[in-house]
């Protein structure tokens, strides 16, 4: 049996866990709805259940979680999961599993996973976007995942696309997340995103394309990979609207040709991405040894 990893994805609507092999293949997986309270305990039980079905002892644990995060205290502060705010998730999972644990933003995990085995294989400069209950981003520049001052680089969900627009959970106004997240769409339409009317699907694509055009110009990118239940559920109409908006707005010569594509790993992208976090942590540890 080759090396495998325990992968955990912490979202606003569901908690997912998997055993992922060293080539990005998902061997075992399970998920539960995200509870209103005691999310860390529910995640621990899910992790234990998946570990019991693992074909071998994983080498490490990778966790993709909504942000922001505070590396100075080792805590997570997901805006839409109140019971996880201030929780030292890495410490708790390390105590539970006895394994090395790496925790990072789920969108940064998506970027690593798509570079490992998805739509960004061989790409050195791209942005990955997670569109689920919240919206996040991970930026890869010259083959390196951007971390930022506190590890929170890539918060694309808080790029402003409608000045003086809707209030956002971050405290600002007009953010991408206030329009394009699953929560925002459900609040507006009174129905889950998968049943959103066509006009909302197209508007979501336009606003995401607007944000991507700006990020592409700032970071000198030619590719945007978008995953998550909202984007993948909307499908081609969303991506067509996003690409049309990019083509209209990305007019600086260096950004002309910026493409937006669906996550190549599909719905498995968050779990493969979480495994990629664990894989990267082990590689870094080996280099330091």
Assign 111 a pLDDT band (cuts: 50, 70, 90): very high
52, 123, 240, 276 from 103: Cα distances, Å: 21, 24, 33, 11
Nearest alpha-carbon partner for 260 in 248, 243, 241: 243
Assign 223 a pLDDT band (cuts: 50, 70, 90): very high
pTM, to two decimals: 0.93
Question: According to the model, what pLDDT value does residue 72 have?
Answer: 75
Assign 68 a pLDDT band (cuts: 50, 70, 90): confident
Calpha distance 146→137 (Å, rounded): 10
Nearest alpha-carbon partner for 203 in 173, 227, 229, 238: 238
Question: According to the model, what pLDDT value does residue 234 have?
Answer: 97
> How many angstroms from the chain centroid is the CA of residue 219?
19
Sequence-distant (≥ 6) Cβ neighbours of residue 121 within 8 angstroms: 114, 115, 264
């Amino acid at each position: 049996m080759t090396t495998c990893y325990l992968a955990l994805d912490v979202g606003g609507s569901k908690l997912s866990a998997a055993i992922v092999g060293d080539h990005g293949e998902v061997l075992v997986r399970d998920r539960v709805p995200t509870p209103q309270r005691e999310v860390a305990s529910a995640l621990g039980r899910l992790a234990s259940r998946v570990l019991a079905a693992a074909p071998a002892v994983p080498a490490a644990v990778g966790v993709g979680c909504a942000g922001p995060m505070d590396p100075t205290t080792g805590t997570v502060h997901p805006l839409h999961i109140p019971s996880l705010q201030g929780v030292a998730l890495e410490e708790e999972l390390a105590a539970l599993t006895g394994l090395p644990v790496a925790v990072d933003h789920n969108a940064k995990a998506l970027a690593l996973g798509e570079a490992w085995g998805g739509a960004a294989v061989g790409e050195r400069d791209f942005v990955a976007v997670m569109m689920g209950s919240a919206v996040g981003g991970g930026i890869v520049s010259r083959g390196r995942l951007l971390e930022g001052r506190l590890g929170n680089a890539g918060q694309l969900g808080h790029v402003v696309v409608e000045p003086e627009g809707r209030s956002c959970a971050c405290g600002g106004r007009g953010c991408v997340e206030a329009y394009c997240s699953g929560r925002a769409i459900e609040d507006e339409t009174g129905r889950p995103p998968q049943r959103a009317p066509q006009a909302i699907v197209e508007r979501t694509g336009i606003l995401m394309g607007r944000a991507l055009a700006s990020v592409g110009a700032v970071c000198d990118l030619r590719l945007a990979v978008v995953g998550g239940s909202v984007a993948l559920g909307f499908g081609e109409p969303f991506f067509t609207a996003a690409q049309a908006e990019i083509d209209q707005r990305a007019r600086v010569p260096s950004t002309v040709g910026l493409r937006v594509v669906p996550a190549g790993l599909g719905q498995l992208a968050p779990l493969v991405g979480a495994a990629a976090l664990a894989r990267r942590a082990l590689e870094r540890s080996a280099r330091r040894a």
